[in-house]
A and B are shown apart, each in its own frame.
Chain A
Amino acid sequence: MSKAEDKAARTETRSTWLLSAPALVLLLFAASGPLIIMLVYSFLTPGKYGNVIWEFSPDAWIGTILSRDIFDGTYSLADAHLTIFWRSVQLSLLTTLFTFLVGFPTAWFIATRTARTRALLLFLITIPFWTNLLIRTIAINQIIRNEGLLNTALLSLGVIDEPLVIIYTNVAVFIGMTYVYLPLMVLPLFAAIDRFDMRLLEAAYDLYASRWQVLRRVILPIVKPGVIAGSILVFIPALGAYVTPRILGGGRNMMIGNFIELQFGQGRNWPLGAALSVLLLVIVTVALMFYVRAATRSDSNG
């Protein structure tokens, strides 16, 4: 590289950083920087009225999965915590699976319409996507609660004699999360299917592939990046969900997000809350890394 080129490259780098600096400073102050402080707090001792005492303690981390007997000091598995973790993971996986099962045909349907209809349908998917999550949760709450539309309709039709109790159960949280996160699955699936060359289908059929074989051997491998992207986009916010389980699950069906919040409210255990948040972040990062690896692998194959 010549000296002039070298200098030009350095000027370029400098202006990139200078122009990005205000955004980066703001993000460092109010987004990424505090994550490190949170990590530090997870190793401190909880204060009596919230906040922390600046003394090192591994208790918060031990407390994420073990609980200490207050009488003899022995440790045992913290069943309550494990139940909440398990419920969160289970509900998030179920939500991801179900949004895929109904999202795939929907995305396929949109992608195979004419240009005009397609634009309209995409717009219809985008509106709920951008609508306040709280409002959509309120909307689904109005449908499934005991005096809600579903029960009122079923009762007046005489299908049931007593209202179905859905609200404040795991089922309610599952329905709610499926409802609010569905657009996040449909949009990337659509993007992937849209790139799919439909002639490949005809080719497969001409070669006597069955429907199932076409789906498994032709369609799924090609739309795989979209499937992975959609799954990640649904799974991550579902795992950290707070609003939906709070409104639809009530106090008995907490997920990790609600449990974390509890530590900063009544629980008054900031270090435990911080440790749980770090743990959640680690799970999400692992999922993201898995996504990046899977996405790059399918790129090089395609």
Chain B
Amino acid sequence: MAEKSFSASRIPGFATTAILVFCALYLPIVMLVLYSFNSGDSVAVWEGFSLKWYPLAWSNEQVRDVTLRSLTIALVASVVATTVATMAALGTTRRKKTKGQTLIYLMINQPLMVPEIVTAVALLIFFAAIKVATGYQGLGYLIAAHSAFCIPFAYLPIRARLEGMDKTLEVAAADLYASNWQAFRYVTLPLLLPGIVAGMMLAFVTSLDDVVITLFVKSAGQDTLPTYMLAQIRRSVPPDVNAISALLLLLTVIMLTLFFLLTRKRD
């Protein structure tokens, strides 16, 4: 075939690069999971299959403690963030652009634009002042911080879902004398539910993954799973931390698969 004939899907080098990129992306993750089943404590030399690191990690009381804390924070924060994000999405989509809408968007998306370390420093300073003033040291600060930075992650899928819904059903409900609340409860909410669940899952994963903001906001003895893991890393990564990483990875993959099934557009 002549050199001139051209196909967009066959630019020389592109396919090779892409395949190398996929390998490079997955090799470290796959190795991490694989070596969490290594009976030795090396991450490079295979010494036989073993499940021992998982029970070992779980038998550590501190690991159980920080896991529970992480899950509590992620659960509360994702519920709070999803609730307020759903309301905000209802208030800002499917209506004429009102005054100040840009400001609302900016504020909601702020956690995505400001570097985490900057928010972390600001929260450290602000919460330290409140801690001194009120004497309260509890989990409330972490929950508030997590709820706030999870809002955009919950808001975006809910908003996307809302924008894809037309108003005819709600108008029909109103024509049939449904009150505003009834129309919302029995028409809008069920239709919106996949978006809400998807948003909540993203918020949950985001909260569970957070390192930097948690590191700055937490009081003594309030480690979460990621900050605990970070503290365990010295010159090497202990095998039990490896096992926890593999489990968290699995959790992420499950949540993501569910997310994709929920948000997939039906043809």
A interface residues, Cβ below 8 angstroms from B:
9, 12-13, 15-20, 22-24, 26-35, 37-38, 41, 51, 102-103, 105-106, 108-110, 112-113, 121, 123-128, 130-136, 138-143, 145, 147-149, 151-153, 179, 182-183, 186, 198, 201-202, 205, 211, 236-237, 239-240, 242-243, 246-247, 256-257, 260-261, 264, 270, 273-274, 277-278, 280-281, 284, 288
Could you say which interface size class chain B belongs to? 35 or more
B121 on the A face (CB < 8 A): yes
Whether A110 contacts B122 by the Cβ 8 Å rule is: no
Residues on A with C-beta less than 8 A from B127 are: 34
Report which residue of A102, A139, A148, A242 has the largest number of chain B beta carbons within 10 angstroms of its beta carbon: A139
Alpha-carbon distance A26/B147, docked complex (angstroms): 8
Report which residue of A16, A151, A202 has the largest number of chain B beta carbons within 10 angstroms of its beta carbon: A16
Could you list 11 A-B pairs, sorted by A, with CB under 8 Å?
A23-B85, A26-B151, A27-B108, A30-B145, A109-B17, A128-B26, A132-B209, A132-B226, A134-B229, A149-B43, A202-B6
Whether A127 contacts B252 by the Cβ 8 Å rule is: yes
Residue of B nearest to A124 (CB): B22
Residues on B with C-beta less than 8 A from A9 are: 96, 98
Query: Shortest CB–CB separation between residue A59 and chain B, in angstroms?
Result: 17
Whether B91 contacts A205 by the Cβ 8 Å rule is: no
B interface residues, Cβ below 8 angstroms from A:
4, 6, 8-9, 11, 13-15, 17-18, 20-22, 24-29, 31-32, 35, 42-45, 80, 83-85, 87-88, 90-92, 95-96, 98-101, 104, 107-108, 110-111, 113-119, 121-129, 144-145, 147-149, 151, 155, 205, 208-209, 211-212, 215-216, 226, 229-230, 233, 236-237, 241-242, 245, 248-249, 252-253, 255-256, 260
Alpha-carbon distance A152/B83, docked complex (angstroms): 50
Residues on A with C-beta less than 8 A from B45 are: 152
Whether B122 contacts A105 by the Cβ 8 Å rule is: no
A interface, over-half SS:
helix
Interchain pairs with CB closer than 8 A, number: 274
Whether B211 contacts A243 by the Cβ 8 Å rule is: yes
Report which residue of B122, B216, B226 has the largest number of chain A beta carbons within 10 angstroms of its beta carbon: B122
Query: Shortest CB–CB separation between residue A266 and chain B, in angstroms?
Result: 15
Whether B91 contacts A34 by the Cβ 8 Å rule is: no
Residues on B with C-beta less than 8 A from A13 are: 98-100
Alpha-carbon distance A35/B123, docked complex (angstroms): 8
Whether B6 contacts A205 by the Cβ 8 Å rule is: yes
Residue of A nearest to B151 (CB): A23
Query: Shortest CB–CB separation between residue B55 and chain A, in angstroms?
Result: 20
Closest 4 A-B residue pairs measured CB to CB?
A: A19-B91, A240-B115, A109-B18, A34-B122
Whether A126 contacts B256 by the Cβ 8 Å rule is: yes
Residues on B with C-beta less than 8 A from A205 are: 4, 6
Whether A130 contacts B237 by the Cβ 8 Å rule is: no
Given the contacts A149-B31, A201-B6, A109 and B107 also touching, CB distance less than 8 Å: no
Whether B25 contacts A128 by the Cβ 8 Å rule is: yes
Whether B125 contacts A31 by the Cβ 8 Å rule is: no
Whether A139 contacts B84 by the Cβ 8 Å rule is: no
Alpha-carbon distance A246/B230, docked complex (angstroms): 9
Query: Shortest CB–CB separation between residue A264 and chain B, in angstroms?
Result: 6
Whether A28 contacts B17 by the Cβ 8 Å rule is: no
Report which residue of B99, B129, B148 has the largest number of chain A beta carbons within 10 angstroms of its beta carbon: B148
Alpha-carbon distance A147/B42, docked complex (angstroms): 8
Whether A23 contacts B87 by the Cβ 8 Å rule is: yes
Alpha-carbon distance A24/B18, docked complex (angstroms): 42
Alpha-carbon distance A241/B26, docked complex (angstroms): 22
Alpha-carbon distance A131/B209, docked complex (angstroms): 8
Residue of A nearest to B202 (CB): A130
Whether B122 contacts A113 by the Cβ 8 Å rule is: no
Residue of B nearest to A144 (CB): B28
Whether B115 contacts A135 by the Cβ 8 Å rule is: no
Residues on A with C-beta less than 8 A from B121 are: 38, 260, 264, 273-274, 277
Whether A18 contacts B91 by the Cβ 8 Å rule is: yes
Whether A136 contacts B28 by the Cβ 8 Å rule is: yes
Whether B126 contacts A34 by the Cβ 8 Å rule is: yes
Alpha-carbon distance A28/B104, docked complex (angstroms): 11
Partner of A34 from B83, B98, B125 at Cβ < 8 Å = B125
Whether B98 contacts A105 by the Cβ 8 Å rule is: no
